[in-house]
Structure 1
């Protein structure tokens, strides 16, 4: 597998991490077990792609990028669709997360 393909898998895994976090919120605990089951299927997909990317990428960088995409993306989705608070500072800190993730990619 090429380095570029590994980064692509990692990015997709990060987006699945966002879907996992939003799925947990949407499942509302155990009130929607079918949604919870789907959420864990998404998590399995995310972990599978992360595992494949780790064949080529350094573990520290890959894990930080995966969690960074998940954290920043989940915060943005929460603000846009779920009514989480919106402020300049939230965007500022999300921007720093994304800048850090990009820095890890450029430095790898």
Structure 2
């Protein structure tokens, strides 16, 4: 269950990072409220995963999911530039996240 909580936390990180962008620096009420609520839920799920998973692994996977997902969403929704180097580093992050999952003991998703 810990890996499930961790993946959900990472996916919510993508959403709250996106709504934070939409909040225009936390100046637009609707997206700001959504950002804060999802941030709290996301960190709550991360904390639940830490009951079983090592903190370093959990946090690395959490931020990896969030970073990769947010870059992809930024590219799709906000026309942010996607270069070959960005793709290379996104692939590197993905390899790291999958690798950490493979080498970390504990509960499986």
CA–CA separation in structure 2 for the residues paired with 1:107 and 1:10: 16
TM value normalised by structure 2: 0.91
- Larger RCO, structures 1/2 (Cα 8 Å, 6+ apart): 2
Number of residues of Structure 1 aligned to a counterpart in Structure 2:
104
Residue equivalent to 1:59: 55
Q: TM-score, normalised by structure 1?
A: 0.92
CA RMSD, 1 decimal? 0.9
- Which whole-Å deviations, capped at 9, do the CAs of 1:5-58 have from their partners, x for residues lacking one? 110110010000011111110000243122101111000110010011110011
Could you say which residue in structure 1 is the equivalent of 2:71?
A: 75
**Which ranges of 4 or more aligned residues in structure 1 deviate by more than 4 Å?**
none
Structure 2: runs of 5 or more not aligned? 105-109
